[in-house]
Structure 1
Amino acid sequence: MTAQHGHTADRATTAPPVTTAAAARDYARSVVRQRWDSASRTAREEDVVDLLLVVSELVTNAIRHGDGLAAFEVALAEDGVRLTVHDNSDAVPDVAYGRGELPSGGHGQGYGWPLIIRLAREVVIEPRPGGGKSISVLVPLHARP
């Protein structure tokens, strides 16, 4: 199904089992190219690069800090792509709702959450039934002129 401008959202598609950030990036890119792009619009490459950076950070965080990646979903929206990463940890990162400030002088967390906050919108973190959490973000996409 090709997304059209009139659609506000598409149902989420759960990626085939992914165990790496690279596999999640490949899947997210394929969803954009096969279902967001159409004869009347194509996502700007710089927006796709932003999307792939956010995918990398979310999936890597789930693997490294979230006791493993439980699932990865991609849903199309009229104005972008909603990513949802499910992990196995109940812990919510302290910086998840921050302002996107970069760590200074080697103190604090890394660059992942500041990057996510700067590139994505509508960050939602919810507990999963049975444990763990789901992190959902909207990454805006714009059509090439």
Structure 2
Amino acid sequence: MTTDETASVRSELLAGARDVTAAAARDEVRRLLDEEFCRTWPGPDEDVVVADALLVTSELVTNAIRHGGGVTSFTASVSDEGLWITVTDRSHAWPTTHHPAPGDMRPGGFGLRVVRRLSKDVTIVSVPGGKAVHVLVPLR
């Protein structure tokens, strides 16, 4: 398989079909990884890799729900490069990273930082009706 090809299994959740929640997206990614990753590469780091992928999935979907007017679509696929996740939402506003002031103890605001830390690539593009966040999570 070349890096331009994706695995035969691709997961897609459309908001029109049902509400996309972080839990539903995680379930789809877990199923996809079980089918395409875990069976072909069981290793000592498998649990950590899967946990990272699920955390990135959760952060992306939660951010779209909280700050982007809701998820309009969610796709995930596995390629030689890793796990590709795309989340689209209804907002044209670009996500920002939280930079707390000294002593600021408010929770939240670190999702994008977590996503960037655990991902090999993060691309944000404008799409009709909002934006799309494309992320590549390495699986090896």
The TM-score bracket by the shorter chain reads 0.7 to 0.9
Alpha-carbon contact 2:96-2:112 (below 8 Å) kept = no
1:120 alignment partner in structure 2: 119
Q: Which of 58, 76, 79 matches 1:77?
A: 79
Listed one character per residue, the Cα deviations across residues 24-60 of structure 1 (whole Å, up to 9, x for unaligned) are 001001001112334x423611010000000000000
Shift of 1:107: 7.1
* Distance in 1 (alpha carbons) for counterparts of 2:114 and 2:92: 22
Across the aligned residues of Structure 1 and Structure 2, the Cα RMSD in angstroms comes to: 2.3
Q: Is 2:25 the partner of 1:24? A: yes
1:42 maps to a residue whose letter is P
TM-score (norm 2): 0.81
Distance 1:82-1:28 versus aligned 2 partners, 3 A rule: same
Number of paired residues? 130
Higher share of residues assigned strand: 2
Residue 94 of structure 1, CA deviation: 2.6
| Residue ranges of structure 2 left out of the alignment (5+ in a row) | none
Q: TM-score with structure 1 length normalisation?
A: 0.78
| Residue of structure 2 in register with 1:134 after alignment | 132
% identical equivalent positions: 39
Deviations along 1:77-136, one digit per CA (max 9) or x if unpaired, are 2131010001010000133xxxxx87453279612111111101211111112x200001
